[in-house]
Amino acid sequence: MTIQIGDRVPSTTFVKATENGPEQVNSDDYFAGRKVALFSVPGAFTPTCSARHLPGYVEKADELKAKGVDEIACTAVNDAFVMGAWAKSADAGDVTMLSDGNGAFAKAVGLEMDGSKFGMGTRGQRYSMLINDGVVEQLHVEAPGEFKVSSAEHLLESL
């Protein structure tokens, strides 16, 4: 079942790349007590994700924070090393990269997709969420092959 507005984000574990190596991030702790703009991409370094999705959040980070967002985070079914390398290559210092390497979060929120025909296996769909103290306030899920409602611009307009 797909997560809905008003639902609590499920308890899972992400991994993020840090200066000291991979670090486990518990979703309950991560989303507690703050407003997080979370967006999901099918894969780091993929065309739309690299050319438009991540750069939009990097570019609009200050505007999102001015509207009350405490943190901006990107998740993908990629390992923490790939997510860390993507952040560096995209100069995405204002965006926290949360690796969902095994797809546990994507499955828990019911937003996984089958990318097998592209050689990608199971991945997370393209979407954005506004999460306030662990509860989903906004959810914008893209139709397959689209990039509109999960963009930083769309989320900013909806705040």
- Walk along the chain (159 residues) and give the pLDDT tens digit of each residue: 799 999 999 999 999 988 888 999 999 999 999 999 999 999 899 888 787 899 999 999 999 999 999 999 999 999 999 999 999 999 998 999 999 999 999 999 999 988 888 877 788 999 999 999 999 999 999 998 899 999 999 999 999
Q: Report whether 120 contacts 84 (CB < 8 A).
A: no
pLDDT at 118: 84
pLDDT at 103: 95
State how far the Cα of 41 lies from the Cα of 48, in Å rounded to an integer: 9
State how far the Cα of 126 lies from the Cα of 76, in Å rounded to an integer: 9
Q: Is 49 a catalytic residue?
A: yes
pLDDT at 134: 98
For the chain, give the number of residues.
Answer: 159
How many angstroms from the chain centroid is the CA of residue 82? 14
State how far the Cα of 143 lies from the Cα of 133, in Å rounded to an integer: 27
Side chain identity at 94, as an amino acid letter? D
Residue with tokens 């438009």, as numbered in its chain: 52
Catalytic residue among 44, 49, 92, 136: 49
Q: Which residue segments constitute the domains of the chain, with CATH numbers given?
A: 13-158 (3.40.30.10)
Give the DSSP letter string of 40-67: E-S-TT-HHIIIIIHHHHHHTHHHHHHT
Q: What is the pTM of this model?
A: 0.94
State how far the Cα of 88 lies from the Cα of 83, in Å rounded to an integer: 9
pLDDT at 104: 96
**Phi, psi (degrees; rounded to nearest 5) at 100:** -115, 55
pLDDT at 81: 95
pLDDT at 48: 82
